[in-house]
């Protein structure tokens, strides 16, 4: 199976769909598959018609079980730095995607599967699925978003349990703490929940949602006063661009400049 076949993508109207399609290998990531996902999100981000992205995965055993063990043990002396570079680029690419990202998670999300889940804006999860970050337990530094996203979503107490004790977070507990937006008993049920949410999101004002999401993304770990200044800046720019025909391209460029200036 080629890397193009292990991750499928399509666009239907205002909704893009991405499917991890390597269930026999637990949908694990290689550097090439990470790069493919970056390329897919690049294409989606540049399409002003797309309002929402749904991510799901084939197979019953894992949504994604992390990184490919064969790649990790390949003997490449630069493998860790390659994973760090591409994984960080992918994490940033999804985190700063102006479109909404909705996860339909019908199996355990482990390692990079958990990171991918944490990068989603909304998560609909099968009742027997769970989230786990085993990096520290395996002697691996939790980079490419594992540490930062874990602390942001779960706080120091639960976050440290997940990082240092490899605690499994069940779908039920995830829903109770507000990490999971909905739990279903069948794959069809969570797919329906994800589709319903994507349809609702695609009806919202595109300029307002893009600026609101980017504003929220750039507030992470910012002092409150600076966060208020950023709110004001984003709101003023949105008003200025309201009547510009090429506002979508201008938005993307300004978001890049904002991130680079932080």
pLDDT digits (tens, 9 = 90+) for 77-116: 888 889 989 999 999 999 999 999 999 999 999 999 999 9
- Confidence check: pLDDT of 59 > 80: yes
| pLDDT for 212 | 93
Chain length of the chain: 262
The C-alpha angle 129, 134, 138, rounded to 5 degrees, equals 150
CA end-to-end distance (rounded Å), the chain: 41
Q: Which long-range contacts (CB under 8 A, 24 or more apart) does 185-193 make?
A: 185/126, 185/127, 186/126, 187/106, 187/126, 190/104, 190/105, 190/106, 190/124, 190/125, 190/126, 191/56, 191/104, 191/106, 191/124, 193/104, 193/124
pLDDT for 196 equals 98
What pLDDT does 208 receive?
94
Task: Give yes or no for residue 227 having a pLDDT over 70.
Answer: no
Q: Could you tell me if 121 and 100 are in contact, meaning their C-beta atoms sit under 8 angstroms apart?
A: yes
Of the CA atoms within 13 Å of residue 68, those in its CB half-sphere come to: 19
Q: In what order do the strands lie in the sheet with 109-110?
A: 109-110, 130-132, 169-170
| Nearest in space to 18 (alpha carbons), one of 30, 2, 32, 36 | 36
Of 9, 135, 131, 35, residue with least CA distance to 88: 35
Which strands form 122-126's sheet, in the order they lie side by side? Answer: 7-12, 15-20, 52-57, 100-105, 122-126, 182-184
At 67, the pLDDT band (50, 70, 90 cuts) reads: very high
- Tokens, residue 107: 């199996």
Reported confidence tier of residue 4, pLDDT bands at 50, 70, 90: confident
User: What's the pLDDT tens digit per position in 173-208?
Assistant: 999 999 999 999 999 999 999 999 999 999 999 999
- pLDDT for res 72: 86
> What is the rounded average pLDDT of the residues 130-148?
92
């Amino acid at each position: 199976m080629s890397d193009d076949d292990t991750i499928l993508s399509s666009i239907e109207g205002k909704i893009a769909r991405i499917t991890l399609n390597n269930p026999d290998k637990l949908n694990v990531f290689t550097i090439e598959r990470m790069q493919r996902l970056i390329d897919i999100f690049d294409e989606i981000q540049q399409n002003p018609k797309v309002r929402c992205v749904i991510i799901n995965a084939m197979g019953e055993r894992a949504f994604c079980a992390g990184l490919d063990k064969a790649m990790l043990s390949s003997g490449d002396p630069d493998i860790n730095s390659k994973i760090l570079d591409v994984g960080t680029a992918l994490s940033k690419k999804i985190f700063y995607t102006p479109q909404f990202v909705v996860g339909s998670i019908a199996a355990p999300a482990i390692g990079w599967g958990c990171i991918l889940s944490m990068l989603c804006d909304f998560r609909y999860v099968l009742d027997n699925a769970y989230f786990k970050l085993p990096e520290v337990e395996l002697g691996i530094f939790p980079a490419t978003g594992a540490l930062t996203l874990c602390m942001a979503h779960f706080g120091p107490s639960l976050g440290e349990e997940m990082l240092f004790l490899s605690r499994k977070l069940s779908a039920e507990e995830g829903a109770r703490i507000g990490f999971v937006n909905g739990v279903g008993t069948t794959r069809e049920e969570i797919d329906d929940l994800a589709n319903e949410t994507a349809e609702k999101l695609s009806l919202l004002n595109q300029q307002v949602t893009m600026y609101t999401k980017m504003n929220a993304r750039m507030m992470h770990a910012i002092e409150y006063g600076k966060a208020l200044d950023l709110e004001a800046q984003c709101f003023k720019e949105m008003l200025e661009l309201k009547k510009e025909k090429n506002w979508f391209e201008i938005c993307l460029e300004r978001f890049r400049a904002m991130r680079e200036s932080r």
